[in-house]
Amino acid sequence: MSLTSLITDNITELLVKIIEFTNSRQKILTRNIKDVHSFGFVPKDLAVDEFSDSMDQAVDEHIANRRLVLCDTENIKFGVSGGFEAKPVVDKYAKELLEEDRDEYIEMQISKLLENSLNQRVAAELLMQKTGDDFNFRITLSRLADDLTSGRTGGGFFGGTEEKKERFD
């Protein structure tokens, strides 16, 4: 079953986009580890900050006007019929680290994979809650917002500010 077929409202669509983004990023980060010994290899990543900013703007628009507006950025493109594309970019810091200390580079890639996996898991859990029971979804979302503001989840895509928490209360 396609994730796009689950979209029933704005919040569901945002969660699907997060899952799609983290799935794409997982493939790139895994390739960064797999190809580390390949001649001429250059590590890449997705533009996480651009994606996060797009999601923040979409949530702001949803709260203000109850509509979803997903704006393209230089490396993130949202298609008219639910399509989504994230262009990989060279990870300059990872490239420098790979040249200096391969072991530390691998550790950094693993850390990114773990963070990405957590973001994907949270979005998937919220999506399951949302598609199963709207009341439980709101409770779960409220708890997640509390965790984000207290720093228990490490911030993830939505940061840890009080401003973000207010969006879900």
Query: Over the stretch 107-129, which tens digit does the pLDDT of each residue have?
Result: 999 999 999 999 999 999 998 88
pTM equals 0.75
> Over 80: is that where the pLDDT of 154 sits?
no
In the chain, which residue ranges form alpha helices assigned H by DSSP? 10-34, 48-65, 92-100, 102-132, 134-150, 162-168
Collect all residues with Cβ–Cβ distance below 8 Å to 108 and sequence separation of at least 6. Answer: 94, 97
> Over 70: is that where the pLDDT of 139 sits?
no
How far is it, in rounded angstroms, from Cα 80 to Cα 83? Answer: 7
How far is it, in rounded angstroms, from Cα 16 to Cα 118? Answer: 15
The pLDDT, as a whole number, for residue 81 is 79
Domain ranges in the chain are: 3-168
For tokens 């689950």, name the residue.
6
